[in-house]
A and B are shown apart, each in its own frame.
Chain A
Amino acid sequence: MKPAPFAYVRPGTLEEALEALAADPGAKVLAGGQSLVPLLSMRLAAPSRLVDINGLPDLDRVRTDADGVRLGALARHADVLADADAGRVQPLLPLALANVAHATIRNRGTTVGSLVHADAAAEMPVVLRLLGGSVDVASVRGRRTIAADDLFAGPLESTLDHDEIAVEAFFPALAAGAGVGFEEIARRHGDYALCGVAALVERDGDRVTVARAGYLSVCDVPTVVDLTPALDDGLDDATLDAAADLALDALEPADDIHATADYRAQLARVLTARVLRAAYDHAGSRRAA
């Protein structure tokens, strides 16, 4: 299992990296390599050139302010997970990141790389989408911002053009009165999940004003469903069940070698109820605090 030959460049500036990408239509970006290197070793991909962005300055930064958290392209999962400011402003980041692979993979894998890799079984793409975040991309042609809803084109396919490098991702802060929850079921802790659900709930007293849930490993792309209508009459076992029905109407759980569609639907149902309740309670505890 060895990669096919490729040429390699490790530019020292973003401009050089963008030029190298633009000059070779067969080139690919190498970030943490935790998804790309296995694909190369299994010869599922054979780029003509790798543009290693690990030498670019300043991209490893995690910047947090009242608006939210900005992650540079070289911020490793482990660094983001350990960043207390980031976790305070957006608690869903550490909740979800703790489920991304094992610590050793998180030491090298980048959160931005995971977003661009656009795996429907990955945690952070669906988190970005649930929170309404975005990704800033650069190319020799200029810069643009891609909203999370426009980022995922299909299985393992983002809407970045070939010559674009994602330089930063933005995860908005958690609003006052809002709470989040995250749970997933995997055969072994650290594996890709059979099903995972992230939830965002906003409440006004006991009333639920917003309830949204994001699903990983259920559909071909990270999918977010608005469940607010099901919780109009408050949150109890019956309305949580109705919320799960609403979610399953919008999802199309698929069969694969890991789980049947029925089993996935059952996991999605159970996890939807759990994370909505957790997010509701979290919103309540933040108000009390």
Chain B
Amino acid sequence: MTEETHDVRLHVNGATYDVSVPPRRLLSDALRHDCGLTGTHVGCEHGVCGACTVLVDGRPTRSCLMFAVSAQDTEITTVEGLTNPDGSLGPVQQAFLECHGLQCGFCTPGFLTTITAGLAENPSPTRDEAREMIAGNLCRCTGYQNIVKAVERAAELGSAT
């Protein structure tokens, strides 16, 4: 039996990808395998860990809980889209570097996308708000202290620009 496929146009980080995928292709897999954007990481594949978080029309979304066919006509931002136009690190990425907000880096793409959207909504979070912002993402090695610091640092960097 051959599986039905759908032609889907994905808009990712401002570029267009025309892919042909079976309906069961998760958006996370489409980004990684069909678009070659392996910055998006897949941990639990059932919505719990947050590693696969991307922005869909600006809103943090679990790419493992969405099918690529449903993402047609949306604007997707992955971690690859968070750098500055000249290729240097964006403010949230820079803050993670400065604050030692990562060790293995597996969870990092999900944190970076989540925090980018969080700061767009609330550019100067309190410490509690910074913690709340990342409450849906798991990190198994760095611990959250430096990640919370990175949120605060990213807010500083963001307000400076």
Contact = CB atoms under 8 A, between A and B. Distances in A.
A54 B57 CA distance: 14
B75 interface: no
Interface stretch (B46-54, B87-95, B100-108, B148-156): B46-54
Say what secondary structure dominates the interface of chain B. mixed
A33 interface: yes
A189 B135 contact: yes
A78 B7 CA distance: 30
A10 B65 contact: no
A78 B58 CA distance: 14
Contact of A5 (B22, B62, B66): B22
Interface string A1-28: 1111111101000000000000000000
B135 A190 contact: yes
B62 to A, nearest CB: 6
Residue with the highest number of chain A CB atoms closer than 10 Å, among B4, B60, B64, B133: B60
A107 B70 contact: no
Given A2-B24, A5-B3, A102 B135 contact: yes
A38 B64 CA distance: 9
A4 B59 contact: no
A4 to B, nearest CB: 7
Contacts of A37: 26, 46-47, 64-67
Contacts of B133: 103
A108 B65 contact: yes
B34 interface: no
A40 B65 CA distance: 10
Given A2-B26, A34-B65, A37-B67, A104 B53 contact: yes
A38 B62 CA distance: 11
A102 B46 CA distance: 14
A52 B60 contact: no
Given A50-B23, A105-B62, 15 more contacts: A1-B45, A1-B46, A2-B24, A6-B24, A8-B6, A8-B67, A10-B69, A10-B70, A37-B64, A78-B59, A101-B136, A102-B136, A104-B53, A104-B62, A108-B62
